[in-house]
Structure 1
């Protein structure tokens, strides 16, 4: 994976600006998002009584890292305009972007 694999599901420039370029903070925030995503995913089924709370939590976390589309899809799920499948698909795209970004940063650290 490399920067070319980033789809745009996450606006990393937004995240970098918000973190004032502190790569340690960015890495911690992205690691936390990935850990939390593993907890959220099982809740994102219509059978789970807490799916609405999970969607709301994902929405806020997504907006915090610059994953605008995921935030919008979550808002749509809260409003009944989007499905939980769409939320999971958007979340997967964000996680792929995060993996590509983290990989790119790791490569940069090896070169530097």
Structure 2
């Protein structure tokens, strides 16, 4: 399934522009909220690690292979849970080769990661209540 983007007419429609498409996630968990919570918790943990790795790599001399692998991993995880906006920006990051461009996109990724983690935190808290 492709990420939701303006250029993709087959993209899923996300309710209320949430950072994570819960309908997409539910399709893979067969609606099991406990499994969704576990997946989202793992994804949340990975977000901080992945963002830090990309930020560290952006500050180092160009290491194309490590940068592309780190971005590709985050992109795949984001697509897996339906974090389409994060996946789209990470896909853009994946092909960047210029150090300045890599540093610049970290800010965009940081904003999207903060949005996703906040959403996950609120959602999991609501589910536990």
> Which TM-score band applies after superposition, normalised by the shorter structure?
0.7 to 0.9
Equivalent positions of 1:1-112 (< 5 A) are 8-45=18-55, 46-48=58-60, 49=63, 50-80=66-96, 83-107=105-129
TM-score by length of 1: 0.79
| Cα pair 2:20 2:84 within 8 Å, conserved | yes
Q: Distance in 2 between matches of 1:52 and 1:65?
A: 20
What are the ranges of 5 or more consecutive residues in structure 1 without an aligned counterpart? 1-5, 108-112
Unpaired runs of 5+ residues, structure 2, are 1-15
Cα RMSD after superposing both structures? 2.0
Structure with more contact order per residue of length (Cα contacts < 8 Å, sep ≥ 6):
1
- C-alpha deviation, 1:7, in angstroms: 5.6
How many residues are treated as equivalent by the alignment?
102
Contact 2:68 2:95 in 1 (8 A): no
TM-score (normalizing by structure 2): 0.69
